[in-house]
């Protein structure tokens, strides 16, 4: 990745809250600590950022923009491929065992798990206020939230400022979505979302990806994780046979609804 691209991603990460941690930059830039330090020193010399303990922030005279994610807004995405997403969500919920802890990343497909979780007595860590609202009527479901900023287009809580904003929580399984899936792995449109999802992946023993078949036809974005970090992909019957075969050849369990 060349310097101009790294600088673009640094400012994208700074945009929501005005701060980004070194740990998040290592994930976003896939660069060595020495390279990141040089990039930040160059931007500080140009008075575009200020280096602080643990990361970098915008100068005092620059107000951070209201939190906003790149990508399709939730209200638009929820209507797309809805029947496929509902089938995927039901199949994903069937993988949950009574009484266990799970992590459910925000998204229009992971949301479809919620109606099928009632009665399982789960403890759920989620960053999605949509998922919180869906789970609240389930008296036996305990809900855990991270701290962070609310991104209204997705109704999601993200914490680009660093690891300490996540609760001490470990779960056997992480259920997450993606904007696109290709040979490189799962991708998202926004670097802030990538950093937040990486922190969830680091806490999971098993990563289960919920994506409808349309996500295999749009292969662009920032890589969240490689195929080797995904254990199971749940998708719908319209996935191309050659794509499913490629995923299985890579060692993934492919569940087709």
Residues 134 and 28 in one domain: no
**CATH number of the domain that 126 lies in?**
3.40.50.1360
Which structural domain, as residue segments, surrounds residue 206? 74-256
Is 190 within a domain? yes
Specify the pLDDT at position 75. 60
Residues 128 and 230 in one domain: yes
Q: What is the pLDDT along the chain (257 residues), one digit of tens a residue?
A: 677 778 878 887 887 778 888 888 888 887 888 888 888 998 888 788 899 888 888 887 655 554 555 555 556 566 678 899 999 999 999 999 999 999 999 888 999 999 999 999 999 999 899 999 999 999 999 999 887 777 666 677 776 544 455 667 778 899 999 888 998 899 887 777 777 788 888 888 999 999 999 999 766 678 889 999 999 999 999 999 999 999 999 999 999 99
How is residue 102 annotated by DSSP? Answer: E
Residues 27 and 145 in one domain: no
Q: CA-to-CA distance for 121 and 220, rounded, in angstroms?
A: 38
Q: CA-to-CA distance for 66 and 91, rounded, in angstroms?
A: 36
Specify the pLDDT at position 67. 52
Backbone angles phi, psi at 37, to 5 degrees: -60, -40
Residues 247 and 205 in one domain: yes
Is 152 within a domain? yes
Are 104 and 127 a contacting pair, CB within 8 Å? no
Residues 119 and 201 in one domain: yes
Specify the pLDDT at position 161. 44
């Amino acid at each position: 990745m060349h310097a101009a691209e790294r600088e673009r991603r640094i400012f994208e990460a700074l945009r929501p809250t005005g701060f980004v941690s070194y740990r998040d930059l290592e994930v976003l830039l896939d660069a060595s600590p020495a390279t990141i330090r040089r990039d930040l020193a160059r931007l500080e010399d140009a008075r575009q950022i200020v280096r602080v303990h643990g990361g970098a922030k915008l100068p005092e005279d620059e107000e951070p923009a209201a939190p906003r994610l790149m990508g399709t807004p939730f209200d638009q995405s929820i209507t797309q491929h809805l029947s496929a997403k509902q089938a995927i969500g039901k199949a994903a919920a069937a993988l949950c065992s009574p009484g266990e802890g799970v992590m459910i990343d925000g998204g229009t497909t992971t949301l479809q798990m919620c109606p099928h979780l009632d009665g399982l007595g789960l403890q759920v860590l989620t960053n999605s206020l949509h998922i919180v609202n869906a789970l609240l009527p389930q008296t036996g479901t305990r809900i855990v939230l991270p701290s962070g900023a609310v991104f209204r287009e997705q109704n999601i809580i993200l914490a680009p400022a660093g690891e300490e904003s996540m609760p001490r929580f470990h779960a056997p399984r992480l259920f997450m979505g993606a904007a696109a899936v290709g040979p490189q792995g799962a991708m998202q449109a926004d670097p802030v979302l990538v950093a937040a999802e990486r922190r969830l992946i680091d806490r999971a023993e098993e990563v289960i990806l919920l994506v409808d078949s349309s996500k295999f036809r749009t292969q662009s974005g920032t890589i969240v994780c490689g195929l080797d970090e995904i254990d199971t992909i749940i998708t719908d019957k319209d996935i191309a046979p050659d794509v499913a075969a490629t995923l299985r050849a890579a060692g993934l369990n492919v569940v087709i609804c």
